[in-house]
Structure formats: C-alpha cells, structure tokens
Amino acid sequence: MPNIRIATWNINSVRLRLPIVRRFVQTYRPDVLCLQEIKCEDGKFPYQDFREMGYPHMEVFGQKGYHGVATVSRLPLSRTEKLHWCEKEDTRHLLTRLPGDVEVHNFYVPAGGDEADPEKNEKFAHKLRFLDEVTAWFAARRTDSAKGVVVGDLNIAPHENDVWSHKKLLKVVSHTPIEVARMADWMAAHDFVDVVRQFVPESEQVYSWWSYCAKDWDAADKGRRLDHIWVTPALTQAPSAMEIVREARGWGEKPSDHVPVWMDIDV
C-alpha cells in the first residue's frame, strides 16, 4: 500500500459545515476522513456531496440532532462495525477496515457535562463508564500484529501542555486527573502511541479546540487538545507526517469549534 493520509475532525454538524469540509478536502486531500458530531440520521447524510468531493466509500453511524460519526474514503472500506456502549443507543464508535488490514476506529467520546463528579453528574459518570468499557474491549482484542488506528474527538486533554492552563483546568471536565488516568489506561490496553506527540514534543503547547465563548479565539488562545490520533505498536514507525490545522478554526462565518488533525501513514 502507498502512503495514506487519514484525517479526523469533529465537524459539529456535517450539513452546516459542508463549505469548510470542501475547503479542507481541496487543500489537504485526505484519503480517509473521519468525522464526529455529524448530527444527522444516516439517511440525511450528504452522500452526494462527498461523492463529488472524491469519496465514493462511506460508512455513517448517525442519529437525529446529536452525536454521530462518519468515515468517508477514497479507498475501499470493509468489515464495518457500528458499536454501542454503556447500554445506550447513541452513535459514538464506527469501526472500518482499510486495504492492508488496517482497522480505523472513529470515536466520539462523551463530553461529560460540567461537573467532574460522577455521583452528582450522570453525564460524567457515563463518560467514565464509556472509557472503562472501551478500555476492556481493546485489552481483550489485543494482538502484537494488529494494525489499528484510533481517531476522533476523545474529549480529554491528557498532558499539561494540551491545555492553555494546567493549573486552572485541573477541575474542569476534559482535564481532570480521573479522566487523564482513564485515558492512560485506555492507551495502555493496547500500548497505543500518541501520533501528535510523536511530532510535537510534550514541552510544547498544542490545541485542537477553542471555545465559541471567546470573541477572538486566536488572540485569547485558550485551547485544549481534545482530538487525537493513536496507532498500535505494529504501526509505531508508520506515521511520516502530522498536522493540526489550526487555521480551520477561523474558516467561514460558522466554523466548527474543533479543527482537523491529519497524519500520513505508510502501511
């Protein structure tokens, strides 16, 4: 297989953001684009638009108005699985297989609400349970030869320099110690490698999300790195390039609050 470019993007409504999706595709030309928070049912996904963009292969796992993930590809997709977690019917995990037996897991992890207390906040309890179940699932499927990629909005910024202020965000959902520990357990379940940090040292601050609350997101720069790309040990040496497309946060009148993250991988 040649070098493949895989991108992930929480698009925050795929139909609303189609103009900036086209801009990204025309500029960066990913072979595989994994979207989160598509916010539409499968039948209302803009299939024809993506065909026109050069993506004939599409798998969609959506629901009305909330959540939802989709993987569109220039390459054939096989062995699709749509997985539910925590005995809920929300659409947060889509597994597809690329040529070369590369599994791509497209995730939208629950955000977790506003209060980092599972006793008081059901949304936070759901997030922790989701992480526990996914961790156990990957641990049970682990093999040394597995060629796997995990991408998506994982809604956790694990390192001190994945947020604008480690001290101020320690009690803020997405950067609390309990969430960071859960993410570490998930990564350890298959010895996943954090591709972004293969290319950007942990000593450097880097973000993929900026709140809509800031009047000037770029000047305030109060971001978090919530969007991730991981690979299994069998693919540790495969990534050859990576970029977080920061400028996309300012594209158009109604951008997503997340930006795309892509990697080139030789499989």
Tens of pLDDT along 220-251? 999 999 999 999 999 999 999 999 999 999 99
User: Of the candidates 20, 263, 2, which has an alpha carbon nearest to the alpha carbon of residue 150?
Assistant: 263
* 121 confidence band (pLDDT: 50, 70, 90): very high
* Euclidean distance between CA atoms 86 and 99, whole angstroms: 31
Q: Is the pLDDT of residue 74 over 60?
A: yes
DSSP 2-22: -EEEEEEEE-SSTTTTHHHHH
CA 107 to chain centre: 6
How confident is the model over 164-201, as pLDDT tens digits? 999 999 999 999 999 999 999 999 999 999 999 999 99
Give the residue from 105, 108, 110, 78 showing the smallest Cα distance to 94. Answer: 105
The closest of 72, 95, 90, 85 to 8, measured between CA atoms, is 72
Asked if 69 contacts 108 with a C-beta cutoff of 8 angstroms, the reply is yes
Q: Compute how many other C-beta atoms are within 10 angstroms of the C-beta atom of residue 76.
A: 11
The answer to whether residues 36 and 108 touch, using CB atoms and an 8 Å cutoff, is yes
Q: What size, in residues, is the chain?
A: 267
- Fill in the amino acid letter for 111: A
> Which pLDDT score is estimated for 267?
84
DSSP type of residue 222? -
Q: Is the model's pLDDT at 1 over the cut of 90?
A: no
Which residue matches tokens 């499989």? 267
83 has which bridge partners?
93
Is residue 4 pLDDT above 70, yes or no? yes
pLDDT score for 99: 93
Q: What is the pLDDT of residues 132-147, one digit of tens each?
A: 999 999 999 999 999 9
Q: What is the pLDDT of residues 16-61, one digit of tens each?
A: 999 999 999 999 999 999 999 999 999 999 999 999 999 999 999 9
The number of CA neighbours under 13 Å toward the Cβ of 10 is 26
Q: Is a pLDDT exceeding 80 seen at residue 112?
A: yes
Closest CA to 191 of 221, 161, 156, 150: 150
Query: For the chain, what percent of residues have pLDDT higher than 70?
Result: 99
**pLDDT bracket for residue 79 (50, 70, 90):** confident
State the amino acid at position 23 in one-letter form: R
Instruction: Locate 265 and state its tokens.
Output: 């991988």
How far apart, in whole angstroms, are the C-alpha atoms of residue 197 and residue 140? 26
Mean pLDDT on 98-114: 97
pLDDT at 249: 98
- CATH code assigned to 3-266: 3.60.10.10
* pLDDT at 123 exceeding the cut of 70: yes
Whole-model pTM? 0.97
